[in-house]
C-alpha cells in the first residue's frame, strides 16, 4: 500500500494510506481571518492579540531552489482560538513598529 507523507517533527513521522486519509472526517475552517496590510490594521490586531497569554505563530517565506539563496519572510500568521491575523510583510508599506517589538 502506498503511504502518503503527512508530517514530520523531532518526535514522530506520520504516514497514512490513501484509504486512511479518505476515511478522515472533513473539517471546515471556521475562524475569523483578517488580512493585516496597513499600519492601522496592524495596531488593531496587536492590541487584540496582546490580551491573550498564548497565541499561535507561523511564517511563510518564498522558497529558494539555489543553495545559499534566502528570502525574507513575506507573511506572519498570528492566531487565537477565534481569530487569525495574516500580516503581509512584502508590500510597499513599512513594517509597523508594533511588529518589531
Segment 5-23, tens digit of pLDDT: 555 555 556 677 888 888 9
Q: What is the pLDDT of residue 94?
A: 57
Q: What is the pLDDT of residue 91?
A: 61
What is the mean predicted confidence (pLDDT) over 26-30?
Answer: 83
Asked if 41 contacts 34 with a C-beta cutoff of 8 angstroms, the reply is yes
The H-or-E segment that residue 20 falls in is helix 18-23
Where residue 100 falls among pLDDT bands split at 50, 70, 90? low
- Record the cell numbers describing residue 84, joined without a space: 487569525
Which is nearest to 13 in space by CA: 4, 2, 22?
4
Q: Distance between CA 7 and CA 15 in Å, rounded? A: 8
Q: Which residue ranges form the domains of the chain, and what is each CATH number?
A: 26-99 (3.30.420.10)
Q: Which residues 6+ apart lie within 8 Å of 23 measured at CB?
A: none
Amino acid at each position: 500500500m502506498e503511504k502518503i507523507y503527512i508530517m514530520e517533527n523531532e518526535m514522530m513521522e506520520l504516514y497514512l494510506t490513501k484509504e486512511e486519509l479518505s476515511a478522515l472526517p472533513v473539517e471546515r475552517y471556521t475562524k475569523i481571518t483578517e488580512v493585516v496590510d496597513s499600519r492601522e490594521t496592524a495596531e488593531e490586531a496587536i492590541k487584540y492579540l496582546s490580551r491573550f497569554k498564548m497565541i499561535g505563530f507561523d511564517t511563510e517565506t518564498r522558497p529558494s531552489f539555489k543553495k545559499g539563496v534566502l528570502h525574507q519572510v513575506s507573511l506572519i500568521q498570528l492566531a487565537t482560538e477565534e481569530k487569525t491575523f495574516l500580516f503581509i510583510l512584502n508590500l510597499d508599506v513599512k513594517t509597523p513598529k508594533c511588529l518589531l517589538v
